Structure 1
Amino acid sequence: MSLYQAVIDALNAGGVIAYPTEAVYGLGCDPDNEAAVLALLAIKQRPVEKGLILVAANYSQLLPYVDDNAIPLEKRYQIFSSWPGHVSWVLPASQAAPKWITGQFDSIAVRVSAHPVVQQLCLTYGKPLVSTSANLSGQPAITDKDELEHSLGAMLAAIVPGALGGATQPSQIRHALTGDIVRS
């Protein structure tokens, strides 16, 4: 069995995984599995109302969660030219987007990653993953694999091997309709 198959099996079983991203280790799970998302939020000690980011290999993977028709034509170039990359965009959520992902919002934060491990995970899984930094809410994001294993390893179904990308900060989050920077 390939390494990715074991991770896919863990995701299908509702497990929470950790994986390298551009800047930090991320925690992820199946965005459509409410129990898995609630388990991830419990690990992070983060309230569901805050919402979560979805990360994908390409925009088409995000279409079930995004109200594509509500994105103005004049905003599309800026969004799509930043992907794949290190920018998350807050877009209008589709009616099908789960409330355990959108939280208290009618929007959803999404990004198309350029990180090869994230790309391969999402392509192999066939859909986006929840993507949030691997840390307790309010604590610094984890950038060291040993620290990840020591602090969160026992709560995770799998830790995907791979190096972090070269970025020094988690992804910037921008609001697509206003252009405002939500997180720099």
Structure 2
Amino acid sequence: MNEVSALEQAVAALRAGGVIACPTEAVWGLGCDPDDDQALARLLRLKARDPAKGVILVAASIDQFAPWLEGLPVELHAPLAASWPGPATWLVPDNGRARPLVRGDHDRVALRVSDHPLVVALCEAFGGPVVSTSANRAGEPPAMSAEQVRAVFGDELDAVLDGPLGGLARPSTIRDLVTGRVLRS
């Protein structure tokens, strides 16, 4: 299957409420439409992930996060603009836009503008951000290849967008936008 049709298949799966896998900057990720509660619940079930933890949203550009950034004080936009695109995930105060399963038990939503070409292409083709959480069952190491994703999840996924990882040694830094506190370095 060529890359264009694989991308189209992944986008169609997202739009149909499916769960997909694709490479990210450091590990393989699982994704779904962040506005589809059934897809979110299914993704969390597949991972056996505690819904209280929340998930990260990735986008192709800061503009795709406009609805999530609405009402954010202007001075808090500078760190986002300075670090995106790239491996910086920011915990941004939720303005009410994030679904409960995206946010988890938190008053923040985790956002990252990716510089991984496949993630960017996926978000552009989908027309907005997608959920991105490591492709693994809770407590297990994340998948590092399409083969590992298929070995863990078999036919439970609706699409696998194959491609190389982004070359980073570890997942993105997670930092609270308001306090500056680093939660994952």
Normalised TM-score (structure 1): 0.94
The count of aligned residue pairs is 182
Q: CA deviation at 1:104?
A: 1.1
**Structure 1: tracts of 5 or more residues without a match:** none
Correspondent of 1:45 among 28, 43, 48: 48
CA apart distance, 1:133: 0.3
TM-score (norm 2): 0.93
**Runs (4+) off by over 2 Å:** 68-72, 75-79
The correspondence of residues 16-95 of structure 1 with structure 2, limited to 5 A, is: 16-66=19-69, 68-71=70-73, 73=75, 75-95=76-96
Aligned equivalents of 1:92, 1:26: Cα separation in 2: 24
Change (3 A) 1:134 1:71: farther
CA distance in 2, matches of 1:173, 1:84: 14
After superposition, the C-alpha distances for 1:122-172 in whole angstroms (9 at most, x for unaligned) are: 000001000100011121111132211111132100100110011010111
Deviation at 1:78, TM superposition (A): 2.3
Give the drift of 1:61.
1.0
CA displacement 1:90-133 (0-9 Å, x = unmatched):
00112222111111112100000000000000000001000100
Q: Which residue identity lines up with residue 63 of structure 2 in the other structure?
A: S
Partners of 2:71 and 2:95 within 8 A in 1: no
Compute the displacement of 1:76 (Å). Answer: 2.8
What is the alpha-carbon root mean square deviation over aligned residues?
1.4
Please give the residue correspondences for 1:29-178 in structure 2 after superposition, counting only pairs within 5 Å: 29-66=32-69, 68-71=70-73, 73=75, 75-178=76-179
Cα deviation for residue 72 of structure 1 reads 5.2
Quote the sequence identity (%): 43
Q: State the Cα distance separating 1:3 from its structure 2 match.
A: 2.3
Structure 2 residues without counterparts, runs of 5 or longer: none
